[in-house]
A and B are shown apart, each in its own frame.
Chain A
Amino acid sequence: MSAVANPTRAAREDTPRSPQAGAPVVRLHDVHKSFGALKVLDGVSLDVGPGEVAAIIGQSGSGKSTALRCINALETIQQGTIHVCGHAIHDPQLDRRALRRDVGIVFQSYNLFPHLTAEQNIMLAPTCVKGMTKAQARELAREVLSHVGLAEKAEHYPEQLSGGQQQRVAIARSLAMRPKLMLFDEVTSALDPQLTGEVLKVMENLAREGMTMILVTHEMAFARKVASKVVYMHRGRVWETGTGAMLDDPQTPELRAFIGNGL
């Protein structure tokens, strides 16, 4: 009743004041994951609130990708709990299709469908999963393509696009599903510096628009600038957590060494 009587006030209360406010979109608690005898995640806990941008950094092999894949139910965990947008990922009864509507993921290798144009790549999920008509989906595709600065490339096939453009189409393809959370796994690692810049720009805009994001990245400058939370992973653990400032003042020798090597 009161919400109806005073909608502006209710709305304001629902809107997070700062990135950290509100129930977490992602909550990992004591997550353990092994591949056979290889322990890859060794008790990872992590909270990401609505509108937060969490950057996961760390050496190759420290479990960053695995953590991201566990969040998106691409791997099953042996111990611990993961909650994502209200879905209990660790629950064997997890409704994967419902999860897929809430979470988008972009990989280092783009993974565009090579036989479809940029526009068709984007239209596929909205038509298949959300039952949109072709016309609606095409309009949506044009919209998200403009969003990533590629409106004029709608009819191009992936092989006709540069790596940076392909990656932006991949981001647009995820955005077309209107996810509540976006995951990025080293999305610029295969790109040269100039193309990296155009992709980071798109991600920075997304962050500014309030998208909740978790990104695995080697771009320290980007993490420092855009991330509200930086997570340093080492040997399958969250070794150090902080804001971007943490990168200027590492507390652990491991992070200090990592930053030293990385720059």
Chain B
Amino acid sequence: MTYQFDFAALLPYWPEFVHGLWLTLQLSAMATVLGFIVGTLCAIGRADGPPAVKWAVAAYVEVIRNTPLLVQIFLVYFGIATLGFRIGANTAAVAALVVNVGAYTCEIVRAGLESVHKAQLEAADCLGLSRVQTYWHVVLRPAVERVYPALTSQYVLLMLASSITSQISAEELTAVANRVQSDTFRSFETYIVVGLLYLLLSFVVRIAFWLVGLGVFVRRRKLGTAL
């Protein structure tokens, strides 16, 4: 039993694949930026907030880490609709991914925050810096630098996981693939191509993180040493 590959059948669909690639990139980029902000604020809240905030963040993190992403996506999508808000599938997809990756980011960044010595906070306090200034100028950069590889992996995973949002018919690469294979009946070929495109996207995400790291962690770029 031999299978006759026919990639040529997919050729007419290349603009769709490119479009899907672009949509996935957009979706992931938005979820990455927002997820990082949410996760970092949660990490600070958990490390330094009042007890109620600490407790709320801990509960959020545990719930997200112990439920499937697909269920979270459905909950966000249908939950928001039930509350009477009309949002598109793509907005719901970004929201769900932010909620999801925010929890994982919180745990990673928290480890980074804990690596910053208390004496650094005290030194900043003694110089007259406010709490916010201390976090912004003194704590955050070294904390994130130390956990940057873990963060990078987490956001590559996020990009890959965004494929699940096709389940609520968000427009992205996997949704495009589903359409193409039902048009062409070349399922195997379609998902081989999509797999390769995800591989390419992973590479793009890693490069992007590397470039951002070069810009943000100036000391590391210049000295090449770990903090």
Q: Which residues of A contact B (CB under 8 A)?
A: 72, 74, 97, 100-101, 103-105, 107, 109, 111-117, 124-125, 128-129, 157, 159-160, 173-174, 177
Report if B227 contacts A (CB, 8 A). yes
A-B contact pairs, 22 of them (CB 8 A): A72-B126, A100-B128, A101-B128, A107-B122, A109-B119, A111-B123, A112-B123, A113-B123, A113-B138, A113-B142, A114-B142, A115-B141, A115-B142, A115-B145, A115-B217, A115-B218, A124-B129, A124-B138, A125-B129, A128-B130, A128-B133, A160-B223
- Extra contacts, 9 of them, besides A72-B126, A113-B124, A160-B223 (Cβ < 8 A), are A74-B122, A97-B128, A105-B126, A111-B122, A111-B123, A113-B142, A115-B217, A128-B130, A177-B128
The smallest beta-carbon distance between B167 and chain A, in angstroms, is 42
Closest to B140 in A: A115
Report if B65 contacts A (CB, 8 A). no
Could you say which residues of chain A place their CB within 8 Å of the CB of B117?
Answer: 111
Could you say which residues of chain A place their CB within 8 Å of the CB of B227?
Answer: 114-115
Q: Are A159 and B223 in contact (CB under 8 A)?
A: yes
- Prevailing SS type, chain B contact patch: helix
Could you say which residues of chain A place their CB within 8 Å of the CB of B179?
Answer: none
| Residues of B within 8 A of A (CB-CB), count | 25
Closest to B138 in A: A113
The smallest beta-carbon distance between A26 and chain B, in angstroms, is 16
Q: Are A173 and B127 in contact (CB under 8 A)?
A: yes
What mask results when residues 101 to 131 of chain B are scored 1 for a CB within 8 Å of chain A, else 0? Answer: 0000000000000000101101111111110
Q: Are B126 and A100 in contact (CB under 8 A)?
A: yes
Q: Are B119 and A111 in contact (CB under 8 A)?
A: yes
Could you say which residues of chain A place their CB within 8 Å of the CB of B133?
Answer: 128
The smallest beta-carbon distance between B65 and chain A, in angstroms, is 30
Q: Are A124 and B219 in contact (CB under 8 A)?
A: no
Closest to B136 in A: A128
Could you say which residues of chain A place their CB within 8 Å of the CB of B222?
Answer: 157
* Closest 8 pairs (CB-CB, A-B): A100-B128, A111-B123, A125-B127, A129-B128, A128-B133, A111-B119, A105-B126, A115-B219
Could you say which residues of chain A place their CB within 8 Å of the CB of B124?
Answer: 113
A109 to B223, CA, bound (A): 22
Could you say which residues of chain B place their CB within 8 Å of the CB of A72?
Answer: 126
Q: Are A157 and B223 in contact (CB under 8 A)?
A: yes
Q: Are B141 and A124 in contact (CB under 8 A)?
A: no
A115 to B227, CA, bound (A): 8
The smallest beta-carbon distance between B9 and chain A, in angstroms, is 54
The smallest beta-carbon distance between B138 and chain A, in angstroms, is 6
The smallest beta-carbon distance between B133 and chain A, in angstroms, is 5
Could you say which residues of chain B place their CB within 8 Å of the CB of A114?
Answer: 142, 219, 227
Q: Are B219 and A177 in contact (CB under 8 A)?
A: no
Q: Are B225 and A124 in contact (CB under 8 A)?
A: no
A157 to B221, CA, bound (A): 12
Q: Are A113 and B120 in contact (CB under 8 A)?
A: yes
A260 to B125, CA, bound (A): 38
The smallest beta-carbon distance between A96 and chain B, in angstroms, is 8
A186 to B130, CA, bound (A): 26
Could you say which residues of chain B place their CB within 8 Å of the CB of A103?
Answer: 126
Could you say which residues of chain A place their CB within 8 Å of the CB of B141?
Answer: 115
Q: Are A107 and B119 in contact (CB under 8 A)?
A: yes
Instruction: Pick the residue among B126, B137, B219, B223 that contacts A128 (CB under 8 A).
Output: B137
Q: Are B128 and A125 in contact (CB under 8 A)?
A: yes
The smallest beta-carbon distance between A102 and chain B, in angstroms, is 10
Chain B CB within 10 Å — which of A74, A103, A105, A111 has the most? A111
* Docked complex: B186-227 residues within 8 A CB-CB of A: 217-219, 222-223, 225, 227
Could you say which residues of chain B place their CB within 8 Å of the CB of A101?
Answer: 128
The smallest beta-carbon distance between A94 and chain B, in angstroms, is 13
